[in-house]
Chains A and B, each alone.
Chain A
Amino acid sequence: MTFYQYIAEGLFFVFVLLIMAGSFITIRARILMHTVLGLAVALLGVAGIYFYLGSMFLTLMQILIYVGAVCIVLIFGIMVGSTPTEIAEKTIKDRKNIFLAVSAAAAAFFLLMISILKTEWIAAAAQVRDFSAEHLGESFLYQYCLAFELISVILLIAIVGAIILAREGRGQDDKNPWAAPTQGPAHVKELTSVTENKGDPLA
């Protein structure tokens, strides 16, 4: 084992530690914002694990989509809700729920560990071992095109559904935020009157 392999192994444990610390913060934090920040740390660790599993592209996508997008959406969801100190008292649970949580997690752990250790994993006879983004993109757009199209349709439906859901309970005045203002600020009017004829050179 060379020097660089030792460094690689050490980094692997750093990523595992990131995942463990992040998920511990996520499930035990009393303030909701800390929960999401713990999730971001755990997701960064998962991105590192994807790198060790051979996919640079998935590493970058994990950072971009999860840490960049999903966590921001969650933080936004927290900020429009109640304030963090208001929530802090509420997340402390009574003993009964902790017992339920521990027993559910332990049951899942033992069931899965038994099946992991008892199964004999057999690798495929011929493996391609091509982890390049080029190979991934070709398979994605030719052979597995349906998955690609499904993702785009699901995201479109999610965006439309999110807009409909979030607009539901608004007041009468806010029904159409894109409607033209009946009386805009004075300087806007001035600006439009100045650029009215000069804006379009063909007019």
Chain B
Amino acid sequence: MILISDNLYTYLILAVFLLIAGIYGLVQHKTFIGMLVSTELILNGAGINFMAFNRFLAPDPAIGQIITLFIMGIAAAEAAIVVSFIIAVFRKYHSIDPDDVMELKG
């Protein structure tokens, strides 16, 4: 009997689900923070993908874990940058709606 939790396709489909949830949220949300949160979902889908290939296909299981840790570092850095950007934008425009931020001046 094949265990569902021991099958590569389960994890790949789960990662696809996280990706499409992230894309849907990215288009549908109307705030900067909502879009950032959806990006985190997409990054987690990528992480699950790497870990699944690491578990079932890769010769050395350290590689996928290192890439996933790298993704976590990138996500943390990205969250810090985007939140400070949102604070700066909120201070200047008094809005968190991306549609309100329309000038691109220095």
Contact = CB atoms under 8 A, between A and B. Distances in A.
Interface string A1-18: 100010011001000100
A125 B60 CA distance: 11
A53 B52 contact: yes
B101 interface: no
Given A35-B37, A66-B75, A136 B88 contact: no
B28 A97 contact: yes
A191 interface: no
A63 to B, nearest CB: 11
B87 A166 contact: yes
Given A116-B16, A144-B66, A53 B51 contact: yes
Contacts of B30: 90-91, 93
Nearest to B77: A158
Interface residues of A, number: 93
**Could you say which of B55, B57, B95, B97 has the most chain A C-beta atoms within 10 Å of its C-beta?**
B55
Contacts of A169: 88, 91-92
A69 B81 contact: no
Contact of A35 (B22, B24, B34, B52): B34
Interface string B74-98: 1111111111111110111001110
A66 B40 contact: yes
**Could you say which of B8, B11, B82 has the most chain A C-beta atoms within 10 Å of its C-beta?**
B82
B65 A26 contact: no
Contact of A161 (B8, B52, B81): B81
Interface of B: 1, 3-5, 8-9, 11-14, 16-25, 27-31, 33-34, 36-38, 40-41, 44, 47-48, 51-52, 54-63, 65-70, 72-88, 90-92, 95-97
Interface of A: 1, 5, 8-9, 12, 16, 19-20, 23-24, 26-27, 32, 35-36, 39, 42-43, 46, 49-50, 52-55, 57-58, 61-62, 65-66, 69-70, 73-74, 76-78, 80-82, 87, 90-91, 93, 97-98, 100-102, 104-106, 108-109, 112-113, 116-117, 121-131, 135-136, 138-140, 143-144, 147, 150-151, 154-155, 157-159, 161-163, 165-166, 168-170
15 contacts: A1-B3, A20-B17, A24-B21, A27-B29, A42-B41, A53-B55, A55-B65, A90-B30, A97-B27, A127-B59, A140-B66, A140-B69, A143-B62, A158-B76, A168-B88
